[in-house]
Amino acid sequence: MPGFELKLPKLWFGLAIIGLLALGVVSLIPAPDLGGNDKIGHFIAYAMLSAWFSLLVEQRKSLWRILFGLIAYGLFLELLQGLTSYRSGDLADAVANSLGVITGLGFYFSPLRQLLRKLDLWLLARILHKGGDNL
């Protein structure tokens, strides 16, 4: 998208990395039996991460990196779960994860990108204004 540039990319990508790490921790700790089908939770978690990363990238070709990176991350976590004594890797979970990633990529084309850009500029202005008070 021409003209799309975040002024605070470290903040936004940092939040995305925190999301990745949190998902990894939640995926690998012993989980309570929630009963029923957990596939919707898998779908939503990966859709949210994919959407967040999709909002941050400047070029459409970066969507391929998000797609393959998050699908690989989901597969890796499912593999690690299978190596524990208290979790199990599940192909159906991996499919739900992957479908969530694909769905989240659509946010690249949404108006939320411009909303994030406005929030980014507003935060930058606040930071600069606060910094100017201390001079």
What pLDDT is stored for residue 135 in this prediction?
41
HSE-CB at 77 with a 13 A cutoff on CA atoms is 22
pTM of the predicted protein model: 0.87
**C-alpha to C-alpha distance for 50 and 103, rounded to whole angstroms:** 8
pLDDT in tens, 22-63: 999 999 999 777 666 789 999 999 999 999 999 999 899 999
* Helices and strands: H and E segment counts in the chain: 5, 0
